Amino acid sequence: MAVSDHVDFNGFMEGVKRRNPYQPEFVQAVQEVAEDIFDFIGDKEEYHEQQILRRVAEPDRVVSFRVCWEDDQGNIRVQRGWRVQNNNAIGPYKGGIRFHPSVTESVLKFLAFEQTFKNALTGLPMGGGKGGSNFNPKGKSVREIMRFCQSFMTELYRHIGADVDVPAGDIGVGGREIGFMFGQYKRITGHFTGVLTGKGLEYGGSLIRPEATGYGAVYFLANMLAARDMNLEGKITVISGSGNVATHAAEKIVHLGGKPVTLSDSGGFIHDPEGLTLEKIDWVKAHKTHRRGRIQDYVEQFKGARFHEGKTPWHVPCDVALPCATQNELLGDDARALVANGCIAVSEGANMPCDLDAVHAFKAAKIMFAPGKAANAGGVAVSGLEMSQNSARRSWSEGELQQMLKDIMHGIHQRCLTYGDRGGGYVDYVKGANISGFKKVADAMLAFGVV
């Protein structure tokens, strides 16, 4: 078949939409990648003939299951759980678990698809997967969360393994939940293996895993700025979210001399024009994680800050921005407002926080824009290092891991340049990340033949 006979981009996307009805997030994620991959594979007959893009956009499997648990009042509750195993061409499936009422099969399929290319970009041998449940941890007691995690793992355990599929945390799943799930896995199987990452330090976890995603997103931002002879010193930074990724991103911005002025949650955002200090960030961490409080309480604690109910922070003037909450939280008009207000760089700490309109607006304005699959890969990269430490039954020091994280983020930046450098000082990091991540997975798939 001649290259010209192959299905075009529109035909491909029509097929994706037809096969995945009512899955808008998944279709969106595939479209963002396919836009660039079609350019790249235009003259590469083998990728067409072997249907590589079509195959990578079809998860290896989606496991869906019922999760029953008993609440503190003795009521029986029923949730749905999933594990999406997207692709294991370059290593065991790897990716987080999300507990949030907005979780659907579409959301997890988009996350597992993105994870496949993100993991390839890290340079470590990890395939792509994602799991989760529509369970809402908000307002639940710790015992209820424990019972839910145990019930979730009672089904999940048969689908995962240290060389098969290694889940970790994501929205609503932190160290505590990983502990409950690891305990249940060990209880059912009797095996102490590196089947989950993000574990506590006492039982096989890695130093700096909690910090890695936020720190990594800021390192990537610093790499983009350095490529243009700039740095973070004095840069006004707008950040969304107030969870694991957002608070550690804010912390690293402060370390590097920048000035974070916002954080948010699903209730709205706080604007602190004086800037968040390490002390203020520690208060937010304790308030959101241990006290499970709301970000609006910040303004009672720290004078001079204001809470904006039901709003996102993108209209606050800034030099750089880090969306670190959730998907589709930064839309086209937000992107245009950021550009108009002088924002020069955006680094996605969250997965797909910017919708396609926003991404196109950043590209049109030619500002520095780092997609999540490159910018937030530091978390899964340190998860990969946790797997290595578990296999070798040893632990690296904090200093060693900090250096490895920096090197990995630098390596990802370099990989983006390979296919993203447009000349004249402009780098299309979206294209660079998509093609670089795709190529590694695609070439491994070619080696296996039709499987």
What is the set of active-site residues? Answer: 130
Residue 171 touches which of ligand NDP, ligand 2IT, none (CB < 5 to 8 A by kind)? ligand NDP
Nearer to ligand NDP, 190 or 310 (CB): 310
Query: What is the smallest separation between the CB atom of 171 and ligand NDP, expressed in angstroms?
Result: 4
**Residue from 123, 173, 172 nearest 385 by CA:** 123
Q: Under the criterion CB under 6 A, does residue 167 sit at the interface with ligand NDP?
A: no
Query: What is the smallest separation between the CB atom of 325 and ligand NDP, expressed in angstroms?
Result: 4
Neighbours of 54 (CB within 10 A): 14
Nearer to ligand 2IT, 254 or 430 (CB): 430
Residue 326 touches which of ligand NDP, ligand 2IT, none (CB < 5 to 8 A by kind)? ligand NDP
Residue 23 touches which of ligand NDP, ligand 2IT, none (CB < 5 to 8 A by kind)? none
Q: Under the criterion CB under 6 A, does residue 213 sit at the interface with ligand NDP?
A: yes
DSSP symbol at 224: H
CB burial of residue 356 (10 Å; 0-12, 13-18, 19+): middle
Q: Which residues bind ligand 2IT (CB under 6 A)?
A: 94-96, 115, 168, 170, 197, 351, 379-380, 383
Alpha-carbon Rg for the chain in angstroms: 21
From residue 300, give the alpha-carbon distance in Å to each of 157, 274, 276. Answer: 44, 15, 15
Q: Under the criterion CB under 6 A, does residue 206 sit at the interface with ligand NDP?
A: no
- Which of 91, 194, 241, 258 lies at the binding interface for ligand NDP (CB under 6 A)? 241
Residue 245 touches which of ligand 2IT, ligand NDP, none (CB < 5 to 8 A by kind)? ligand NDP
Q: Under the criterion CB under 6 A, does residue 171 sit at the interface with ligand NDP?
A: yes
278-313 burial, b at 16+ Cβ within 10 Å, e below that, comes to: eebbebbbebbbeeebebbbbeeebeebebbeeebb
- DSSP notation for 421-442: EEETTEE-HHHHHHHHHHHHHH
- How far is residue 392's CA from residue 412's CA, in Å, rounded to a whole number? 25
**Residue from 418, 435, 382, 417 nearest 124 by CA:** 382
| Stretch 244-273: interaction string toward ligand NDP, x if CB under 6 A | xxx------------------xxx------
Question: Quick one: how far is CA 282 from the chain centroid?
Answer: 22
- Find the angle CA(218)-CA(219)-CA(222) to the nearest 5 degrees: 85
Residue 197 touches which of ligand NDP, ligand 2IT, none (CB < 5 to 8 A by kind)? ligand 2IT
What are the helix and strand counts (H, E) for the chain? 17, 15
Query: What is the smallest separation between the CB atom of 326 and ligand NDP, expressed in angstroms?
Result: 4
| Stretch 172-191: interaction string toward ligand NDP, x if CB under 6 A | x-------------------
- Which of 95, 349, 371, 437 lies at the binding interface for ligand NDP (CB under 6 A)? 349
Nearer to ligand NDP, 81 or 349 (CB): 349
| Cβ 214 vs Cβ 349: under 8 Å | yes
Contact window for ligand NDP (CB under 6 A) among 68-76, 146-154, 235-243, 387-395:
235-243
**What are the E-state strand segments in 221-299?**
236-239, 259-260, 262-265, 268-271
Query: What is the smallest separation between the CB atom of 192 and ligand NDP, expressed in angstroms?
Result: 23
Residue 242 touches which of ligand NDP, ligand 2IT, none (CB < 5 to 8 A by kind)? ligand NDP
Q: Indicate the residue whose CB is closest to ligand NDP.
A: 243
Query: What is the smallest separation between the CB atom of 33 and ligand NDP, expressed in angstroms?
Result: 17
| Cβ 196 vs Cβ 161: under 8 Å | no
Q: Taken in order 418, 420, 422, 425, is the CA torsion positive or negative?
A: negative
Cβ-proximal residues to 329 (8 Å cutoff; 6+ apart), any chain: 240, 312, 323, 350, 353
Nearer to ligand 2IT, 118 or 259 (CB): 118
| Cβ 357 vs Cβ 331: under 8 Å | yes
| Stretch 79-108: interaction string toward ligand NDP, x if CB under 6 A | ---------------------x-x------
User: What is the distance between the terminal CA atoms of the chain, rounded to a whole angstrom?
Assistant: 21
Give residues in contact with ligand NDP (CB under 6 A): 100, 102, 169-172, 213, 241-246, 265-267, 324-326, 329, 349-351, 376, 379
